Chains A and B, each alone.
Chain A
Amino acid sequence: MSGPTSRGDLVGRARRRVDGRAKVTGQTVFADDLLPPRTVFCKLLRSSVPHARIAALETTRARAAAGVLLVLTGQDFPEAYGILPVSQDEHPLCRDVVRFVGDPVAAVVARDEATAEAALALIDVTYDVRHTFAEPQDSLSTPEPRIHDYGDEGNVHKKVALQFGDVDRAIAGADHVFDDVFHYAGNTHLPIEQHATVALRDPDGKLVVYSSTQTPHYLHRALAKALGLPAAHIRVIATPNGGGFGGKSDPFNHEIVVARAALDLDRPVKICLTREEVFFCHRGRHPVLMRFRTGVTADGRITGMDLQTLLDGGAYGSYGVASTFYTGALQTVTYQVPTYRFRGCRVFTNKPPCGPKRGHGTPQSRFGQEVQLDKIAERLRIDPADLRLRMVAPANTLTANYLKVGTIGLAACITRVVERAGWRGKHGRLPYGRGVGLACSSYLSGAGLPIYWNAMPHSGVQLKLDRSGGVAAFCGATEIGQGSDDVLVACVAEVLGIDPHDVRPVTGDTDLTPVDLGSYSSRVTLMMGNAAIQAAERARDLVAEAVARTLDVPVSRLVFAERRVFDSEDPARGLPFAEAVSVAEAAFGTIGATGSYTPPASAARFKGGGVGPSPAYSYSAAVVEVEVDPETGWIVVPRVWIAHDIGRALNPVLVRGQVEGSVYMGLGEALMEEQAFRRLPPRLSSALVHKFPSMLEYKSPTSLDMPEIVTDLIEDPDPAGPFGAKEVGQGPLLPVMPAVANAVFDAVGVRIDEVPITPEKILKALQAAAQGKPARYGPAAFPEIAWPETLLVAPPWEGGDGTASNEPARRPRKATSPGSGVRS
């Protein structure tokens, strides 16, 4: 017997987001707005040297200072933690070694912030200074002293090598071989909200931590481990984030420190980082040097691609192992790549650790790939749009590296931006100094695997319905500005046929809400959305059953719409939603329902195959127009056209906001943003400092620097997504940077093979061209790296089964995800 139907009218309609009123009226309570009674304040003493052993740490004077309540050091924190199980390399406060300027060594808690800050100066630290690693090449060639005592070797954190098919033969047999080296500078998230945390004991004595975190569940686990407490006695509440972009995805030292302090003092303890400290937390874009060797046929089809990447990881592991894999994971999902080899290497340096920033590990190599495609198109005299259209990867297939791709709206995206931008009349046809560039991209709608191995759902939603007609929706997902609360509410209200304002979202609270892994990897809409739909359908079916009895109408004829439950054959016959729930409550008792989501099992069965799989992939294409002054290199971007394959837009206002925000962030990365450092002359100093940890000197575009943006949404519902939706938070960022580089070439005929693309670099390339040298600015070479044995995996079309032929037998994992696919 078929169930009731829903005729919600929310999905696809442009709506005001559910948390909009609170945000624009200033009523959203961020972490730094919290000030419970008896709060005391924490400040961290941070290392002033880039790399040293702590020879002595004297805190007596600080402890004795008036108003100081507690001083903590590394000795108070024996347990290591870290976001990845394989990189448990952080301590809340450094115990023996400091690894960058800004690494915390001690904490002071005092009655007010000024007292705490003043007391920091009373702590004496003696450092035995060690070699300063400023550049990844230095870390590669200098194994001692080691920044960490773990990792693949010396100061190399991780090396990976994967091969899918005989790439050497495919490249050797190609009509043309393109061999290009690119560099992508590091840059940072720059959320408007600085990280803040308030920790306290609740009246039962248990720990409560309010924090601006994107990942309350992972923070929960890290707190339990680092503090040695049962997780059941810790409650993490993720306050709404004033922007995250990946920068609030790690458990942070300051969060664990104030938690410890709150337990010790039995008082609320608060910390709010300064902007400078946010630059030290970082976990932003890895600087990546990369080399693409690509074989192509005379008509521009790829025969094989051989990619090497070198990541400057900074001082800690963070998500770095995943980041390393991500630099080579998604090359195959946009265009047909029959054979592929990827080798990546991450090294440690004495700088703030790098990690996940919007696009996590993929924008760097996407930049190289899309700029190289532009070079291929130019050499082969094929229009760059046509070159790409000819080889768009087919939908519903497995790629060479065993990524299961569902719907692909890439061709539609390219076609749309080409038409909207007037590409055919502009590319190669604008006067010297003006140009257009095209680039494409793809991104995951959620990582297929969690951070730690387990077989449990990635997202859970619990609903409570009662006679009021109101619905409470509980989910561990975190609102970081992207609109996840709105997605949760929309999915529930759509299924129940009620108004979004009838649904109260309760999110990001580890005591109250079912686990959701967090707001990262563009996973929330798809995973939480599917869980919410399942929960809402289960609740709807319960209500329908009771209503069917009351009205004496078959369940299959019942419709949920317009806050009513009614007979589709006689719409006047029905109950208001509140009465419908009352009937159900009378019949079945308290009404609740749960839903959960686990991604489908990956087809990849080789080591490293866990990074890249996703239930669905979004696609984007962008055309950027530039004006370049050949006299000065000055560059202006007047217009951007972008099309994004969203599957289905649940709320087009939010989707467009994400697309335009991505263009904004992408232009910042393309044109100016750089996490730059100063290494003082080594003969005089060991200092290595962030060049400008401030929002004034770390340049990010202002509203005056923003171009006109024309946004198009391509809607081809993907069966894996809630109502067909795919991700939008990260994908549309990726094509912007290569499209700018390609537009510069179209404007003035020089290649800028790195970001940021600055006037100085453009002018240098123009001067090189005028002197008869290569018309290019960028890195000269990729270093020789001793790669480990490459795992050999035959692609699906060569009869492969997703395993590596030369991999030692792997311990079967008990915790394999169920293969059910969607809602489990």
Chain B
Amino acid sequence: MRLPPFEYRAPRTVADAAALLAEAPGESMLLAGGTDVLPNMKRRQQTPRVLVGLRGIRELRRLEVDRAVRLGAGVTLTDLVRSDALRARVPGLWQAVAQIATPHLRNVGTIGGNLCLDTRCTYYDQGPEWRKAIGYCLKKDGATCWVATSSPTCLAVSSTDAAPMLQALGARVQLVSARGERRVEVADLYANDGIAYLTRRPDEILTAVEIPATAGRRSTYWKLRRRGAFDFPVLSVAAAARVEADGTVTEARVVVGAAASRPMAAPAADRALVGRTLTDDVIAEAAEGAYAVAKPMDNTDFELVWRKRMTRTLVGYALRELRGDDMREARLRLARQSLAMVS
């Protein structure tokens, strides 16, 4: 499969990029690495007339890791994996990024690109002839969602590894258009709809990610997939918490990824944790809270019932890791790599 023809634009500034997007509304897309949009174009899932490449915009490549963290959207995933400062300050985000795809793909993939990743579905991520053979689907050119034929909305799955973790960390993104700029919480960047999964407007460019003060906050990310590389998550659990010296949790957020069309907050899990210590019972209670929000469907690898069941397991792994348990063995079994923390 080959790329369809398209026009390529390479602006040097965000303002120029925004102007280019405004020029061709609905016909242009951003290229921020291309590991998602280019294969999708080969499969004719997306056929933009214009691709606006962000690679030449230097300001998007800035990586600041201090008390607060600011990541330019064009920072590559490899840049992040190689940042010892990020690894030390926001270990959960480092773990999430280190498990995206493969080293080669991380060399070109960017954090902004990962956040805007198209939702995925085994009825949708196929070539045009395959999709024709099923009469197409709701997400593209068809009328039926084959995942659940009575569903009025598309059930394609949010498959970004970074978003659940950033949502748990209370991060915000900066969105810039020719009309101006705004900041939104990562939690508000997404909608639970496989088609309109982003609240980013088509003329907006996601330019940066900001993570508020990291001091004293623990974070961790657990990803379920068949193999040790390549695969998108088919379930993930991101957890971030502040824990007092006596073990009391003062702030906690558990987010479930790849189990709906957006990262799902688990407020019941968060409530189960705040003001308490991370005992096995408390962890189990939080796991039930997260289990309830996971709604996997039959459109990824693995069976949906088993995937849902794994929510409890991953929440357990995550919270035990936040508690300080040695989770290296479980990590190695599940991730096939150590993802060791910098202490």
Contacts and interface: CB of A to CB of B under 8 A. Distances in A.
Whether chain B is bound by chain A comes out as yes
Interface of A: 46, 48-49, 101, 113-114, 117, 274, 276, 627, 629, 631-634, 636, 672, 678, 680-681, 684-685, 687, 689-694, 696-697, 699, 701-705, 758-760, 763
B334 A697 contact: no
B104 interface: no
B2 A632 contact: no
B339 to A, nearest CB: 12
Contacts of A758: 302
A697 B122 contact: yes
Contacts of A627: 333
A632 B313 contact: yes
Contacts of A114: 2
A678 B313 contact: no
Nearest to B333: A636
B310 A632 contact: yes
Interface string B105-147: 0000000000000000011011101101111000000001010
> What's the dominant secondary structure at chain B's contact region?
loop
B149 A702 contact: no
B337 interface: yes
B134 A685 contact: yes
15 contacts: A101-B133, A113-B2, A114-B2, A672-B226, A678-B134, A681-B149, A689-B130, A693-B130, A699-B231, A704-B228, A705-B227, A758-B302, A759-B302, A759-B306, A763-B309
A304 to B, nearest CB: 39
A103 B74 CA distance: 43
B315 to A, nearest CB: 13
Nearest to A764: B306
Contact of A49 (B123, B127, B133, B149): B133
B336 A705 contact: yes
Given A627-B333, A632-B313, A702 B122 contact: no
A632 to B, nearest CB: 5
Nearest to B102: A702
Given A49-B133, A631-B313, A274 B228 contact: no
Given A702-B229, A704-B228, A692 B310 contact: no
Given A276-B127, A276-B130, A702-B230, A697 B336 contact: no
Nearest to A685: B135
A772 to B, nearest CB: 21
Given A632-B313, A701-B227, A704-B228, A760 B2 contact: no
Contacts of A634: 333-334
A703 B227 CA distance: 9
Nearest to A276: B127
Contacts of A632: 309-310, 313
A117 B301 CA distance: 31
The number of chain B residues touching the other chain, given as a range, is: 20 to 34
Given A634-B334, A681-B149, A763-B306, A699 B134 contact: no
B103 to A, nearest CB: 11
B229 A704 contact: yes
Contacts, number: 86
Q: 8 nearest interchain CB pairs?
A: A704-B228, A704-B336, A760-B306, A48-B133, A702-B229, A760-B303, A101-B133, A687-B134
A114 B44 CA distance: 13
A363 B334 CA distance: 29
B1 interface: yes
Nearest to A46: B129
Contacts of A633: 306
Contacts of B336: 704-705
Contacts of B227: 672, 699, 701-702, 704-705
> What's the dominant secondary structure at chain A's contact region?
loop
B1 A697 contact: no
B119 to A, nearest CB: 15
Given A274-B127, A636-B333, A697-B301, A680 B134 contact: yes
A631 B316 CA distance: 12
Contact of B129 (A48, A692, A760): A48
B294 to A, nearest CB: 15
B283 to A, nearest CB: 14
Contact of A687 (B122, B127, B133): B133
A634 B337 CA distance: 15
B130 to A, nearest CB: 6
Given A49-B133, A678-B134, A696 B230 contact: yes
Contacts of B135: 685, 687
B134 A689 contact: yes
Contacts of B146: 678, 680
Given A114-B2, A632-B313, A697 B125 contact: yes
B125 A760 contact: no
B151 to A, nearest CB: 13
A685 B143 CA distance: 13
A696 B229 CA distance: 10
Contacts of A274: 1, 127
A627 B336 CA distance: 13
A166 B135 CA distance: 55
A759 B302 CA distance: 9
Contacts of B309: 632, 763
A684 B150 CA distance: 12
A31 to B, nearest CB: 18
A760 B130 contact: no
Nearest to A689: B133
A661 B148 CA distance: 40
Contacts of B229: 702-704
Interface in B194-243: 226-231
Nearest to A120: B129
Interface string B1-36: 110000000000000000000000000000000000
B291 to A, nearest CB: 14
A697 B129 CA distance: 17
A461 to B, nearest CB: 42
A684 B146 CA distance: 10
A685 B146 CA distance: 11
Interface in B34-85: none
Contacts of A693: 126-127, 130
A690 B133 CA distance: 10
A28 to B, nearest CB: 22
A241 to B, nearest CB: 22
Contacts of B303: 760
Given A276-B1, A760-B306, 16 more contacts: A49-B133, A114-B2, A117-B2, A276-B130, A672-B227, A687-B133, A691-B122, A692-B126, A699-B226, A699-B227, A702-B228, A703-B229, A704-B336, A759-B302, A760-B302, A763-B306
Contacts of B226: 672, 699
A629 B229 CA distance: 21
Contacts of A692: 122, 126
Contacts of B129: 46, 48, 276
A153 to B, nearest CB: 30
Nearest to B134: A687
Nearest to B300: A697
Most buried by A among B1, B129, B306: B129
A117 B2 CA distance: 10
A681 B135 CA distance: 12
A699 B301 contact: yes
A754 to B, nearest CB: 15
Nearest to B144: A684
A630 to B, nearest CB: 12
Most buried by B among A681, A758, A760: A760
Contacts of A49: 133
Nearest to A629: B333
Given A629-B333, A699-B301, A48 B132 contact: yes
Contacts of B130: 101, 276, 689-690, 693
A101 B130 CA distance: 8
Contacts of B149: 681, 684
Contacts of A681: 149
Nearest to A701: B227
A49 B127 CA distance: 15
